[in-house]
Amino acid sequence: MKKYHVKKGDKVVVNAGTWKGEDAKIVAVLSKNDRVVLEFSNLSQKKQELIGKKTVKKSQSNPNGGLVERSVSVHVSNVTPVKVEKSE
């Protein structure tokens, strides 16, 4: 099993690629591909459009089908954990 410097639920900053400089939270770690799935906290409208959408067929979980937002995944080496300060 691989060990990474981040885990699910960590707050990170992306340090390379399209999302460079953005704050995010890790939703999942894909160890097979050495990638992490990110959920961004506050993106500009322009960057939100870059994420894009994908078409989904009708199903029980999605009765109307249609468009859903995609998740963003980046290589694990392109994220740096953010130190969370403890408040007393």
18 vs 11, more confident: 11
pLDDT at residue 85, as a whole number: 66
Tokens of 43: 């993106």
Q: Report how far residue 39's alpha carbon sits from residue 11's, in angstroms, rounded to the nearest whole number.
A: 10
Beta-strand relationship, 79-81 and 11-14: antiparallel
Judged against a pLDDT cut of 80, whether residue 86 lies above it is answered with no
* CATH architecture for residues 11-81: Roll (2.30)
pLDDT at residue 43, as a whole number: 82
| Side-chain half-sphere CA neighbours of 14 within 13 A | 23
Q: What is the pLDDT of residues 30-84, one digit of tens each?
A: 999 999 999 988 888 888 878 878 888 998 988 888 888 788 899 999 999 998 7
